[in-house]
Homo-oligomer: A and B are copies of this chain.
Amino acid sequence: MFSIGELSLRTGVKVPTIRYYENAGLLEAPERTSGNQRRYSRSGLERLSFISHARALGLSIEDIRELVELASDPERPCGEAHHIASAHLASVRARIRKLKKLERELMRIVKISDADCVGECHVIQSLADHALCESDH
């Protein structure tokens, strides 16, 4: 049996965040002591690790809620879980593509202002004039 503080230490998830997950319906409400403090079992620890790992992978609370439900219903987990994971993979890839565009754009802006840093400021000029951009955004 772990207190919320011990659980926090073991998982690296902050105490208020654990309570938040409970409130959001991701984490089952644990037993309480007679004095109303939370006491977690091993399964609570495992569930929290699951949530924390999924969050680290960037899945939304909503996605995780769904995965948690699937996990507790062994009849129909795999297809849908797979769907959630691969949808998320696609969105991660889209974000990478977008950030790479930004990277190129920013490199250009920074490089120009490196080369020629007198008079008018090129950073500000480049930011002001979208027409100078190489890609759309």
Contact = CB atoms under 8 A, between A and B. Distances in A.
Contacts of A105: 57
Interface string A105-137: 111011001100100011110011110010001
A70 to B, nearest CB: 7
Number of copies: 2
B95 A130 contact: no
A26 interface: no
B92 A110 contact: no
Given A95-B99, A103-B92, A54 B127 contact: yes
Interface of A: 46, 49-50, 53-54, 56-58, 67, 70-71, 77-79, 81-82, 84-86, 88-89, 92-93, 95-96, 99-100, 102-103, 105-107, 109-110, 113-114, 117, 121-124, 127-130, 133, 137
